[in-house]
Structure 1
């Protein structure tokens, strides 16, 4: 008979997510996961599978979290929602905030050569979520060529998030975000 778990799955997955987010898949060691979660690697792997499967679970959790946040943001009128996304880069965060690590999915793109098809599919679904959100918002405002413009916005967003990852500071995205906000206002 299996013993009941002595840890909270949500807390452990959140801690693992933050660790992968800050360090990336390759750089995250099993020791780092143990320290972050407070659970021995044997317990983690018994509960979630190996490091790769734990990462898949973390990416799915991240997707679900962002999906819920986007539903709230994109409940606003079209361009207002888009503006809110890019204005968020200017909001101050404490120096140790996870926002200074960029975006877990975008960061994962930097490692795509070394990842499996499951991760590639998760990243593609995440990208499609953003594109659909942008395209729907633009279409609600009657803006022409919404799909092409949404593709542009996804590229701009991912570029801004890449700047954050490279600089280790959310403020690195502000100049790009301001140009995007100005551009969207002209549509």
Structure 2
């Protein structure tokens, strides 16, 4: 008979997510996961499977959280929604905030060849989700060449998030975000 879990799945997944987010999939060790979650590797494996399966679960959780936030941002589609996305980079964060680690999905791009097809599919779906949000916003304002401009916005967003990861500071994205905001206002 299996023993009941003596931990909160949500708390464990949140702790694992922060660990993967700060360190990446490859650099996150089982010891780091044990320390962050307070659950031994056997307990983690029994509950969530392998490290890769845990990572996939964490990415799905992250994606769902981003979707919930973006539903509010894109509730009134148009350039204003796009501006809100890029203006967010200018919001100050405390030094320990996870925002200084960039985006978990964007950070994962550099590790895709070392992960399974399901993880690659999640990252691809996440990118498509952003593009669809930008595309809907652009079309709502009747912006010409919306598809190409939505691609530009996704590239700019992912570039800004990459800047954050590289610098370890959310403020590193501000110059690019300001250029994007000015560009979008000119469309």
**RMSD of aligned Cα (Å):** 0.7
Question: Which runs of structure 1 show a deviation greater than 4 angstroms over 4 or more consecutive aligned residues?
Answer: none
Q: How does 1:20-59 map to 2 (within 5 A)?
A: 20-59=20-59
Distance 1:129 1:3 in 2: 39
Distance 1:99 1:76 in 2: 25
Number of aligned residues: 187
Distance 1:145 1:8 in 2: 48
Equivalent residues of 2:105, 2:123 under 8 A apart:
yes
In the superposition, the TM-score normalised over structure 1's length comes to 0.98
Equivalent residues of 2:79, 2:138 under 8 A apart:
yes
What SS does structure 2 have at the residue aligned with 1:111? helix
Give 1:2 shift.
1.6
Q: Verify: 1:76 aligned to 2:76, yes or no.
A: yes
Match of residue 11 from structure 1:
11
Structure 2: gaps spanning 5 or more residues: none
Distance 2:175 2:111 in 1: 26
Give 1:67 shift.
0.7
Q: Verify: 1:162 aligned to 2:157, yes or no.
A: no
In the superposition, the TM-score normalised over structure 2's length comes to 0.98
What SS does structure 1 have at the residue aligned with 2:5? coil
Structure 1: gaps spanning 5 or more residues: none
Match of residue 140 from structure 1:
140
What SS does structure 1 have at the residue aligned with 2:142? coil
What SS does structure 1 have at the residue aligned with 2:137? helix
Give 1:3 shift.
1.6
Q: Verify: 1:182 aligned to 2:160, yes or no.
A: no
What SS does structure 1 have at the residue aligned with 2:82? helix
Distance 1:167 1:110 in 2: 16
Distance 1:33 1:76 in 2: 39
Distance 2:55 2:124 in 1: 16
